[in-house]
Structure 1
Amino acid sequence: MAADIVFLNGEVITVDHKNNVEQSIAIKGNKIIAVGSNQVTSSYITEKTKVIDLQGKTVLPGFIDSHLHILHGTNKLGVDCKELQIKSIKDLLQALKAKKLETPTGQWIRASGFNEMTILEGRYPTIDELNEISKEHPIYISRTCNHICVVNSKALEIAGINENTTDYENDQIERDQTGNLTGRLIESTNMKMAEVAKYSGEELLRSFKLASDEFLSFGITSIHDAGGHGPDHFRNIFLAVQSGEVRVRVYAMICSLNNSEEFIDKMIDAGIVTGIGDDKFRVGPAKIFTDGSSSGPTIATRKPYTSNPNDYGILYYTQEEIDKILTKAHQKGYQITAHAQGDRAIEMVLNSIESLQKRYPRKNCRHRIEHAGITEPDLQERMKKLDVIPIPNPPFFYEFGECYIKNYGKRVDHMYPLRDFLNQKIIAAAGSDCPVTSCNPLLGIHVAVNRKSKNGINVGRNQRISVLEAIRMYTWNGAYASFEEERKGSLEVGKLADLVVLDNSLLNAEDQNIKDLTVTMTIVDGEILFERSTSKYENIKQ
């Protein structure tokens, strides 16, 4: 059998059950046909075979980001505070003014990735500052966590929020000392505003392509999309995959940033269930939000925040409400999951899973908990007993490490506890939660190995893991979390040809330099879809 592509003289990290590292790999069509020494693959080489000499560079299974938002692409349509390196309120206001000049009157001016903790003034822009930019354009600025926003008066008017609006349960509409709205909206009210300010279907499709191209440039071949604005978002992802605009594989969670339970009910009524689809697009778990943002901070904790003895965070639902939503989905055969960051929220989700498994037992459910932020030993034991898959976010420490120490103190020692998960034999799959942080898996692996912030501060160093352990969380474990470990997640004969080539050896890199490695080639289904050139990145077969 003649191979289409053969890689020779490499560091082929297979992530098989023995963690074998081989020298060569051969691909035909969309499948891997040989893995081993140069001698093993040489018999597959003909004059038609594309032969690539790796010269010791690393080949890996395509990275699987088990929790991100393809809505990340919309950041590129507005003011991206991270990409523009916004460092002050003045910088932000200038960028918004520039965006106003290209935005028709009455249409939204949006900004994303804002972080008051890294801004010179250490605050949010005021509603008056935003109104000075425009009273005719609605302005929406999303904090980096996407759980808090600040808006101008026009945006509040469109959303129907005014001084007489009564805060909904679990919502927070910030007011100043005189009762006037500040424009800052938190958690559920933020989610409502995000839906009001959402992009059009045409804009979404364009943004999805931008996101997909960026994912490929970082070696991501599969994503678990963590939701957007309900059925429209879900449908548009499918259409983008079908049209070829999105070229990464998608495992799409049934989740809406606002009223997710309504979306879940609609999908249940339609008879759609986890697993429906193909290798390009597959229906994922039913997902709800239970608490807030780890960096907000608004997560629900069992003990008060170290930074505020009166603050225990925010819960979206009561225990009874969580039970009702998740039990219905479980009964109908869904994989279920929940955004749960704080230990109080995690405990409530585990309570629900334990209860429904007793009443309606199912095998191989692979129920998940997204983020699983503060997971202390008692919660780990329950996860193991219930075969729950946590989806931690290693790169969060790089950007928010100091914030975590300030708000949670010693609890950072059990925050996204990768070493504990491994010791407990809990299968954890890693995700970036992009656009909250960079989607670069090499950064995630770097932080999992080092547990340091970008300023070099140690954050729960007891939870460090090895490079090979971190790679598995970004590959095979991600495939397991979507019931696809027999199809992808490792470089083995018969599996899908999803591969990543790095610019150097990953196993020989110094721990502190892992984040500096780059992806030079990404292959999905046997096709080279990304190959780095002298430009920022080049995508093949546009």
Structure 2
Amino acid sequence: MKADVVFINGEVLTVDKHNSRQQAVAVKENVIAAVGTNDDIKSYIGEQTEVIDLEGKSLVPGFIDSHVHLTIYGTNLLGVSCIESHIHSLEDIFTDLRKKAEETPKGEWVRAWGFDQLEINEQRFPTREELDQISTEHPILVIRTCNHMCIANSKALEIANMDEHTPDPEGGIIERDDNGQLTGKLIENAHMQMFKVASYSSEELSISMKLASDAFIKEGITSIHDAGAYGKGSETLRIMQQAVRNKDIRVRVYAIMGSLTNSHDFVHQMVQAGTVTGLGDYYFKLGPVKLFTDGSSTGPTIATRQPYTSDPKNSGIIYYSQEDLDCYLGNAHKKGFQITAHAQGDRSIEMLLDCIEKALKEYPRNDHRHRIEHAGIASPDLQQRMKELEVIPIPNPVFMYVNGDVYKEYYGERINVMYPARDYQEQGIVAAFGSDAPVTFVNPLLGIHAAVNRKSKTGQEVGEQQKVDVLEALRCYTINGAFASFDEERKGSIEAGKLADLVVLSESLLTIDSARIKDLGVELTMVDGQVLFKNEQLMRPSGVRR
């Protein structure tokens, strides 16, 4: 048998159970045909075989982002970005919003994303009145980077039927000033409720999904666990599945059945529909049902057992009572679903573990692989329970790089058990990394960098005892992600018989200085045996021959 593509002279990091290293890989159609030395693989080279000389660079399994918001990432690209290099002040944002409003038909939404009050000169949120000065004929939203808060202008509040008499929704706050007037700031579930009316059209969703998929492939991501979007979850799933079928989405999708808007309604709908986790194929498959239990780590609105270090009167927001959590997720477990929830603070993690423990006692099931999305503050007692219950945490190490400085301010010594990758490794807990993009950067190499170095972007140590070595970080972005979606037999490592999802890096991942991991680039991304991305600026012309 002759291969379609052969990689030679590489640092092949297989991420198999021995973390073995090889030199060469042969690919036939959409499957890895063989892995070994150059001599082992040369017999697979025929006249039509494309041979790629890696020249000592790393070949790794395709990255699996185990918690990312594909639809939100894509729809953000349709709006005003607050993270561009020219944004330094509120006025810079307002200028871009005015331009967007001028080119948008009256009555249609104008949105800005990625806003972080800590990154601009004024160190504050915009006000409703300031957004009204941009336009009162367009509904305007400025969405905080965490996707748990926004500022709305008067037109947006009017469309959402929110005024000074509207009560706060459970798990949310419609902020008012000292005179009882709306400031425009919507927090947690109030923010989520806004997107009942601020949703995107089917056409916009389709366009955005393709944009996001293309962006992910350029970062070396070949599989994602999509963590949900705003609006009607079933409609988003339908459009996503259609986009996969049409090959507008080229990454493999494990669709977490959760919505940022009324997540319990969507969970109930999916449980009643007769579907179950695992339905689908290796291109699109239904994953766990998901609820939101608390808020944002940088809000900060996560639910903690002890008050915030920065605010002794604040312990965050809980979305559901224990009884409701047990009801929604417990029923899903009973029907055979994998279950999970967004749980950042130690209080919310404890509630979710209580729910899982109760469900397993009432309806025992082996190999359930229930998850915790984020598991932000995971103290030792909670880690022990994760191990006993065989729960898979989905931490986000990149948060420590981006947000580490404010975490020290908000949570004090608790940063030592935030996203604790080293503790998970030592206890034998399978943890799979996710970026939570667009909350922060989607780049898996930045996530690996953060897990290996545990330093914030300003260079501060943030829980350095939770550092892991580079191969463990790579496992958390590959084979562990495959395990979290019941796919470890078909992807997540470079082994004969597995799907040919492969990534070529610009240098050796093992020999590069750890402080430079974030500077590595992706030269090539292969999904299902097809090269979908080549960075011609990084690849030498001599690197490919026939």
Q: Of 250, 265, 285, which aligns to 2:268?
A: 265
Q: Of 297, 300, 304, which aligns to 1:301?
A: 304
Q: C-alpha offsets along residues 238-294 of structure 1, whole Å, 9 cap, x if unaligned?
A: 111111100000000111111111111211222110000001000000000000000
Shift, 1:86, TM fit: 2.1
Q: C-alpha offsets along residues 426-479 of structure 1, whole Å, 9 cap, x if unaligned?
A: 000000000001110000000000011111111111100000000000000000
Shift, 1:482, TM fit: 0.1
1:127 maps onto 2:131 in alignment: no
1:245 maps onto 2:248 in alignment: yes
The 5-angstrom pairing of residues 492-503 of structure 1 reads 492-503=495-506
Shift, 1:305, TM fit: 0.1
Shift, 1:168, TM fit: 2.1
Q: Which amino acid aligns with 1:415?
A: M
Shift, 1:79, TM fit: 0.4
Q: Of 255, 258, 277, which aligns to 1:274?
A: 277
- Residue in 1 aligned with 2:339? 336
- Residue in 1 aligned with 2:227? 226
1:175 maps onto 2:176 in alignment: yes
1:345, 1:524 → 2: CA distance?
37
1:389 maps onto 2:392 in alignment: yes
1:414 maps onto 2:409 in alignment: no
2:390, 2:212 → 1: CA distance?
32
1:150 maps onto 2:151 in alignment: yes
- Residue in 2 aligned with 1:539? none
Q: Secondary structure at the match of 2:301?
A: coil
Check the 8 A contact 2:523/2:538 in 1, yes or no: no
Q: Which amino acid aligns with 1:288?
A: L
Q: C-alpha offsets along residues 61-109 of structure 1, whole Å, 9 cap, x if unaligned?
A: 0000000000201111000112455221011101101111110111000
The 5-angstrom pairing of residues 165-204 of structure 1 reads 165-204=166-205
Shift, 1:190, TM fit: 0.3
Shift, 1:400, TM fit: 0.8
- Residue in 2 aligned with 1:516? 519
In the superposition, relative to structure 1, how do residues 85 and 469 fare at CA in structure 2: closer, same or farther (>3 Å)? farther
Shift, 1:218, TM fit: 0.3
1:461, 1:86 → 2: CA distance?
32
Instruction: Identify unmatched segments of 5+ residues in structure 1.
Output: 537-542
- Residue in 1 aligned with 2:65? 65
Q: Which amino acid aligns with 2:512?
A: A
Q: C-alpha offsets along residues 124-153 of structure 1, whole Å, 9 cap, x if unaligned?
A: 111111000000000011100000000100
In the superposition, relative to structure 1, how do residues 83 and 240 fare at CA in structure 2: closer, same or farther (>3 Å)? farther
Q: Secondary structure at the match of 2:117?
A: coil
- Residue in 1 aligned with 2:13? 13
Q: Which amino acid aligns with 1:130?
A: L
Name whichever of 274-283 and 398-407 sits farther off: 398-407
Q: Secondary structure at the match of 1:408?
A: helix
In the superposition, relative to structure 1, how do residues 534 and 101 fare at CA in structure 2: closer, same or farther (>3 Å)? farther
Q: Which amino acid aligns with 1:400?
A: N
1:505 maps onto 2:508 in alignment: yes
2:170, 2:45 → 1: CA distance?
65
The 5-angstrom pairing of residues 312-461 of structure 1 reads 312-461=315-464
1:280, 1:137 → 2: CA distance?
39
- Residue in 2 aligned with 1:51? 51
Q: C-alpha offsets along residues 368-423 of structure 1, whole Å, 9 cap, x if unaligned?
A: 00000000000000000000000000101121111100000000000000000001
Check the 8 A contact 2:506/2:538 in 1, yes or no: no
1:431, 1:164 → 2: CA distance?
40
1:147, 1:376 → 2: CA distance?
24
Shift, 1:23, TM fit: 0.5
2:307, 2:268 → 1: CA distance?
34
Q: Secondary structure at the match of 1:195?
A: coil
1:287, 1:51 → 2: CA distance?
44
- Residue in 2 aligned with 1:285? 288
Check the 8 A contact 2:174/2:185 in 1, yes or no: yes
Q: Of 478, 485, 493, which aligns to 1:482?
A: 485
Check the 8 A contact 2:294/2:345 in 1, yes or no: yes
Q: Secondary structure at the match of 1:60?
A: strand
Q: What's the RMSD between the two structures over aligned residues? A: 1.0
Name whichever of 160-169 and 408-417 sits farther off: 160-169
Shift, 1:32, TM fit: 0.4
Name whichever of 264-273 and 522-531 sits farther off: 264-273
1:175, 1:451 → 2: CA distance?
38
Q: Which amino acid aligns with 1:215?
A: F
1:105 maps onto 2:103 in alignment: no
Q: Which amino acid aligns with 2:511?
A: N
The 5-angstrom pairing of residues 519-530 of structure 1 reads 519-530=522-533
**TM superposition score normalised by structure 2:** 0.97
Instruction: Identify unmatched segments of 5+ residues in structure 2.
Output: 540-546
Check the 8 A contact 2:307/2:313 in 1, yes or no: yes
2:391, 2:169 → 1: CA distance?
32
Q: C-alpha offsets along residues 203-249 of structure 1, whole Å, 9 cap, x if unaligned?
A: 01001011000000000000000011311111111111111100000
Which aligned segments of 4 or more residues in structure 1 are displaced greater than 6 angstroms?
A: none
- Residue in 2 aligned with 1:540? none
Q: Which amino acid aligns with 2:132?
A: N
Name whichever of 519-528 and 260-269 sits farther off: 260-269
Q: Which amino acid aligns with 1:68?
A: V
2:359, 2:413 → 1: CA distance?
33
1:24 maps onto 2:21 in alignment: no
1:411, 1:85 → 2: CA distance?
34
**TM superposition score normalised by structure 1:** 0.98
1:84, 1:107 → 2: CA distance?
27
Shift, 1:169, TM fit: 2.3
Shift, 1:521, TM fit: 0.3
Q: Secondary structure at the match of 2:270?
A: helix
Check the 8 A contact 2:69/2:228 in 1, yes or no: yes
Q: C-alpha offsets along residues 319-376 of structure 1, whole Å, 9 cap, x if unaligned?
A: 0010001110000000000000000000000001011111110010000000000000
Q: C-alpha offsets along residues 168-214 of structure 1, whole Å, 9 cap, x if unaligned?
A: 22220111111111000000000011332121110010010110000
1:503, 1:158 → 2: CA distance?
49
Q: Secondary structure at the match of 1:422?
A: helix
1:266, 1:90 → 2: CA distance?
43
1:526, 1:109 → 2: CA distance?
40
State the identity as a percent.
Answer: 59
2:84, 2:56 → 1: CA distance?
33
